[in-house]
Structure 1
Amino acid sequence: MLLKVFIALVFFAMVISLGAGAGFLLRDDSASRRLLSSLKWRIGLGCLLMGLLLYGFLSGQLG
């Protein structure tokens, strides 16, 4: 149960990062680094999510 909650939280954080990145793309000038930072967070969260899913399937906690 705890694994499923953690997976949902990581996915929700990815969606928030995606929205923030879209906002930065529309509002910031071309010299801003916030869009790149948002992308880095999203990639890191995506890797974490894939690792959690792999762990859940291999351990049998996710069916």
Structure 2
Amino acid sequence: MNFEYIDQVRKKARISIDVSEYHGKISACLCCDNISAEDLLPEEVNADGSSLSSETMELKT
């Protein structure tokens, strides 16, 4: 893969590196069939869960 080209596309589309890393993490989990809710959650999450989407909250339950 040409990672420099992919990074140029990411920058032109103004996609933050956080979004790119998160997408990569999800893709890796799907490819390995090793998915857990904790793997899909962002590293920095409010303790009360207010930063989580309703879809993510469904994964946690």
Q: Under TM normalisation by the shorter chain, which class is it?
A: 0.3 to 0.5
Which entry has the higher C-alpha Rg, 1 or 2? 1
**Alignment TM-score, normalising by the size of structure 1:** 0.37
Structure with larger RCO (C-alpha < 8 A, sep 6+): 1
**Alignment TM-score, normalising by the size of structure 2:** 0.38
Which of the two has greater helix per residue? 1
